[in-house]
Structure 1
Amino acid sequence: MAWSKFPYPDDAYVYTATSLKKAWPRLHAGDAEPFPKDPAIVDAWIAFHAGEFEKAAKLGLAAGVDGYTVANKATAMYATYLEKSEKKKLALFQEVAERCEAQQREQPKNPNAYYWHAYALGRYAQGISIVKALSQGIGNKVKQSLDTTVKLAPKHADAHVGLGTYHAEVIDKVGAMIGGLTYGAKKDEGLKLYKAALKLNPDSAISRVEYANGLIMLEGKKKMDEAVKLYEEAAACEPMDATERLDVELAKAELED
């Protein structure tokens, strides 16, 4: 069954190989992905940035293990934002996690083989419930993959966001004491990671949304004004591709709630 279409088609997100290369540092400030050498993978990224997630995933997979990152990102973004069926969404996250494990064996020094593994497992955990996921050992796998990402790519902003969210989710669900003793989750560390992510990628809407969510989980209503300010900043960000547009729309939805 075909994937749902990106709901905000906009020519502004359609890149050529030349214009994509020029915009690449800004577009990939979050995931620290290097510009690909293979033209087939460049085509996959062009499809991804335009919001053609299914096409991007297929082109990425057709290029072999070097194309797994674009395929994984396209699948993960589609599942996060556009897939309506919870069952299909969870299946897509499992598919990404499994593919990442294969990629890690082939490319053990590729940071995004670990980042998308953590991302997919983290979203899967949110889908089945964080407490249940922690009891299954998924939390430890998420943290391990994020730690490996940062070790391999210290400027990987999205991995810093992911680690911040790990600390926030664990403390929110099991409390500061159990979270700290059992899972190594610390409030101050979580907040520090969110701030570091914004320094690394100051134009990111999603970093602000996740930081705001984390603030509410870690600090409660006393930080609501600060969280709202972050949502407002995120909603005002200028999207440069389809995923960033979805991030901005998410921020707007948070403000409406």
Structure 2
Amino acid sequence: MGQWTAFPRLGEFRHDAAGVTRQWARLHAGDAEPLPADPRVLEAWVLFHNGAFQQAHEAGLAAGEAGVTVANKACCIHANYLEKKEKARLELLLECAGRAARQAAAHPGDANAWYWQAYALGRYSQGISVAKALAQGLGSKVKDALERAIALQPRHADAHVALGAFHAEVIDKVGSLIGGMTHGASKETGLQMFRRALQLHPESPIALVEYANGLLMLEGDERMEEATRLYEQAAAIEPLDAMERLDVELARAELAA
């Protein structure tokens, strides 16, 4: 596997099993993942929340089927935010997408199996270009998996964010007419998904950032003032774990740009 790029602020978060259990509802307000019964899986989540993504990935895989979700989340967050080599990043995302697809086939009622399949394929699609991914049929896979995740867990805020981003990116790349006719993308649905995500998890920095990005893609610079307010709101959030720290830094980078 090789050594992954370390989370740059390792040591900022010092969660333990008791603390993660106590704060589980807040830490998992985005993905609605149930508190694990297996202490090995809980320990993998502790590693994840502290930013030890490679160790969380390895510990999740070592825990068997119950640890696949934490392994996939650690892998995807590392690939999206920290992996500097594009080839390695895309390979990691495809690996996660395949593992999540197998998980969904074995456990079709697991919302996060569908979500992480969609997330990995979505980020992979951005890496190879959304237009190219749509031509390969990846867009329908992403959309279908996200809709399945939401149907299984209607309070999955992150799936609403990702589905909003799907609608926004498709329309941004191919336009409303082709996006709607060929890929089922809708401006109204995209905005509705973002708003619902923030109703479910108003303290989510990534939901605020993606909503801001979506507004600019769907409605252009006329929404710049509102988008800037969303970036500022995200940048001001006090992160609870390493993933939220990366999201907050993303918001600050958007403001600086």
Q: TM-score range by the shorter chain?
A: over 0.9
- Which residue number in structure 2 is paired with residue 7 of structure 1? 8
1:71 aligns with 2:71: yes
Query: What are the superposed Cα offsets for residues 62-89 of structure 1, whole Å, 9 maximum, x if unpaired?
Result: 1111100000000000000000000000
Query: What are the superposed Cα offsets for residues 225-257 of structure 1, whole Å, 9 maximum, x if unpaired?
Result: 000000000000110000000000000000000
* CA-CA distance at 1:108 after TM superposition: 1.1
Mapping of residues 111-150 of structure 1, within 5 Å: 111-150=111-150
Cα distance in 2 for partners of 1:10, 1:174 equals 43
- Which residue number in structure 2 is paired with residue 201 of structure 1? 201
Cα distance in 1 for partners of 2:14, 2:76 equals 20
Would you say the 8 A contact 2:10–2:52 is kept in 1?
A: no
Matched AA of 2:30:
G
Cα distance in 1 for partners of 2:14, 2:148 equals 33
Matched AA of 1:5:
A
DSSP 3-state at the match of 1:84? coil
Gaps of 5+ in 2: none
Q: How many residues align?
A: 256
Would you say the 8 A contact 2:5–2:82 is kept in 1?
A: yes
- Which residue number in structure 1 is paired with residue 107 of structure 2? 107
Would you say the 8 A contact 2:212–2:227 is kept in 1?
A: yes
Cα distance in 2 for partners of 1:45, 1:111 equals 18
Matched AA of 2:170:
V
Cα distance in 2 for partners of 1:217, 1:205 equals 18
* CA-CA distance at 1:129 after TM superposition: 0.3
Cα distance in 2 for partners of 1:109, 1:192 equals 25
Query: What are the superposed Cα offsets for residues 102-150 of structure 1, whole Å, 9 maximum, x if unpaired?
Result: 1112211100000000000000000000000000000000000000000
1:228 aligns with 2:228: yes
Mapping of residues 1-257 of structure 1, within 5 Å: 1-11=2-12, 13-257=13-257
Q: CA RMSD in A?
A: 0.7
DSSP 3-state at the match of 1:59? helix
* CA-CA distance at 1:10 after TM superposition: 3.3
Cα distance in 1 for partners of 2:177, 2:151 equals 27
Cα distance in 2 for partners of 1:119, 1:217 equals 19
DSSP 3-state at the match of 1:46? helix
Aligned residues: percent identity?
Answer: 56
Cα distance in 1 for partners of 2:223, 2:80 equals 26
DSSP 3-state at the match of 2:112? helix
TM-score for the superposition, normalised by structure 2: 0.99
Matched AA of 1:56:
A
Cα distance in 2 for partners of 1:97, 1:65 equals 15
DSSP 3-state at the match of 1:212? helix
Matched AA of 1:2:
Q
